[in-house]
Amino acid sequence: MTSETAGSTPPDNLKPRQRATLKVNKVTADDVAAALKAGFSDFLARPVMSSAFGLFYALFGILIVWCLVWLGKIWMIIPAIAGFPLVAPFAAAGLYEISRRLQNGESFGWSEILTVMADQRNREMGWMAFVTLMVFWVWMYQIRLWLAIILQDASFSDFEGFLTAVFLTPEGWTFLAVGTCSGAVLSAVLFSVTVVAMPMLLDRETNFVSAMIVSVRVVTENPVVMLAWAAIISVTMVLSLAPAFLGLIFTLPILGHTTWHLYQRAVPPAGP
């Protein structure tokens, strides 16, 4: 008599289930336009709260420049300003939460938003902050490397001397070309892994690696539209930096709210 259990196949409900791969939606120019419209509406719905995040980010940028001047690191000012927008996705975490609550019709104040932001230290958002800051560190280090290799004989005793060496010499033009190319690669990598990963981590219980993979898939499956969105962000941020970072008071909140709505259109809602 053979045992009923020996060599038997386990029931279907006891078999390990493979996790389904999350699909991403096709994103069009109309989606970007609609997300921008919704982002602007969110800004108008809570202008003071949204602008406060932009103001904090702008003041942080001013503080960085002041510290570099105080430390005599004149050559680091332009690289720091150019790389400063790289950390914007992490700075916009509170803006994502504002948009999420507005979208769900929830009432909220500062305590609710700040509580959610503080809670992120116990979730995966902290790891994404580490990734963002690491890329920013690499950005600054590669600028220093190119300075040492290409402009090794230049003098940076003051800011004017630095500008002269960079913009009015053949070596400076080479430095700008090489630095721009390497910086573009770093920016593209960071944009790809964070464009929807940040709002996704705020919205769902998932790990940061999975969120980055989904973000990269959104970019690779919608390259033209996402490249256009990256260009909009880059141009807007650069123009916002010109008036002593103060343009960020308005542009950062709108871009942050827009990113939330673009994420909603790019990634299907979570299943049960």
| Comparison of pLDDT for 15 and 258, the residue scoring more | 258
Token output for 253? 């909140």
- Give the pLDDT of residue 17: 42
- Give the pLDDT of residue 158: 66
Percent of the chain at pLDDT exceeding 90: 29
In the chain, the N- to C-terminal Cα span, in Å, equals 45
**Averaged pLDDT score across all residues of the chain:** 82
What is the mean pLDDT of the segment spanning 93-122?
86
| Comparison of pLDDT for 114 and 33, the residue scoring more | 33
How many Cβ atoms sit within 10 Å of the Cβ of residue 81? 17
Reduced to 3 states (helix: H, G, I; strand: E, B; else coil), residue 130 is helix
Name 53's Cβ contacts closer than 8 Å, sequence gap at least 6. 91, 92, 94, 95, 252, 253, 256
How far is Cα 64 from Cα 76, in angstroms, rounded to an integer?
Answer: 10
The pLDDT of residue 197 is above 80: yes
| Comparison of pLDDT for 262 and 66, the residue scoring more | 262
How far is Cα 232 from Cα 229, in angstroms, rounded to an integer?
Answer: 5
Nearest CA-CA partner of 269 in 104, 60, 80, 42: 104
Distances (CA, A) of 254 to 34, 119, 157, 250: 13, 24, 39, 7
Token output for 48? 């003071």
Widest distance between CA atoms in the chain: 94
How far is Cα 73 from Cα 77, in angstroms, rounded to an integer?
Answer: 7
User: Which pLDDT tens digit goes with each residue over 122-168?
Assistant: 777 778 878 888 888 888 888 888 888 887 766 666 667 777 777 88
User: Which pLDDT tens digit goes with each residue over 171-189?
Assistant: 888 888 888 888 888 888 8
How far is Cα 88 from Cα 74, in angstroms, rounded to an integer?
Answer: 23
Q: Are 248 and 57 in contact (CB under 8 A)?
A: yes
Nearest CA-CA partner of 124 in 212, 230, 13, 50: 212
Name 10's Cβ contacts closer than 8 Å, sequence gap at least 6. none
- Give the pLDDT of residue 96: 92
Most confident option among 8-17, 133-142, 219-228: 219-228
Reduced to 3 states (helix: H, G, I; strand: E, B; else coil), residue 264 is helix
Strands (E), the chain: none
User: Which pLDDT tens digit goes with each residue over 21-79?
Assistant: 678 899 999 999 999 999 999 999 999 999 999 898 888 888 888 888 787 777 777 77
**Which pTM was predicted?**
0.81
In degrees, to the nearest 5, what angle opens at C-alpha 189 toward C-alphas 183 and 192?
135
How far is Cα 263 from Cα 92, in angstroms, rounded to an integer?
Answer: 13
Based on its alpha-carbon atoms, the radius of gyration of the chain, rounded to whole angstroms, reads 23
